[in-house]
């Protein structure tokens, strides 16, 4: 990694902000670079990393529709990790929050749900014998947040590297044998060797462990 990354006197107004860094994290803005251009570079670097990793490294709101499966547990598919669930609707009817809980991949019947009955789990199952999520097409709507509660340090560092690289390509190691798509002035590799991600070796090393195996599914 280049000496001086993220150090020195900031040369940008704090008004330049992204989801993971702000303009003051970049120490090599060329003289005369406008805030609008700086914002574009920061946004582009963050978008590239999200495209590569198939993830959001902040808490993002979501509202998705899924097909009911007739069971008490419903997997939401290839989406970022679930952080919270604020509402579930079954065919437009709000499901009481005491009925369900969630993990990072799914929502399901809460066996410790508070219903006022001495045997809440038994009561729920007696009243809903066919499963909490009745079969149907797009009949279950889940609203909440997903992603990360805090941005990992490695992701922030990767964004900084890409921004600094765009300002000065001599600072980092560039792959020369890419087959690439362009995203602004930055490169996302599609080469035969899958180790190439951004085309900048120092950034790629930081991103390897954060790549989701499957792309994010459609969000409403």
Is pTM beyond 0.85? Reply is: no
Residue 168: CB atoms within 10 Å: 11
Among the listed residues 193, 196, 192, the one whose alpha carbon sits nearest the alpha carbon of residue 207: 196
Residue-wise pLDDT for 96-144, tens only, equals 888 899 999 999 988 776 555 545 455 555 555 568 899 999 999 999 9
Which element (helix H / strand E) includes 99?
none
Distance CA(199)–CA(210), nearest Å, equals 16
| DSSP letter (8 states) at residue 174 | B
Give the residue extent of every domain in the chain: 23-55+152-210, 59-147
The more confident residue out of 14 and 38 is: 38
């Amino acid at each position: 990694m280049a000496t001086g990354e993220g150090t020195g006197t900031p040369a940008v107004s704090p008004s330049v902000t992204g989801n993971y860094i702000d303009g003051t994290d970049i120490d090599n803005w060329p003289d005369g670079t406008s805030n609008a251009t700086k914002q574009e570079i920061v946004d582009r670097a963050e978008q590239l990393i999200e495209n590569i990793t198939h993830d959001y490294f902040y808490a993002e709101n979501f509202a998705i529709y899924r097909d009911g499966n007739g069971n008490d547990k419903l997997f939401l598919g290839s989406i970022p990790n679930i952080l919270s669930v604020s509402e579930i609707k079954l065919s437009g009817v709000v499901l009481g929050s005491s009925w369900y809980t969630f993990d990072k991949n799914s929502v399901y019947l809460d066996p410790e749900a508070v219903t006022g009955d001495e045997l809440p789990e038994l009561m729920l199952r007696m009243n809903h014998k066919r499963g909490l999520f009745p079969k149907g097409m797009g009949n279950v709507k889940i609203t909440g947040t997903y992603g990360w509660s805090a941005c990992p340090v490695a992701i922030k560092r990767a964004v900084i590297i890409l921004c600094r690289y765009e300002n000065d390509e001599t600072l980092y190691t560039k792959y020369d044998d890419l087959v690439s798509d362009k995203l602004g002035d930055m490169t996302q590799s599609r080469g035969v060797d899958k180790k190439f991600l951004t085309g900048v070796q120092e950034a790629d090393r930081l991103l390897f462990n954060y790549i989701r195996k499957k792309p994010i599914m459609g969000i409403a």
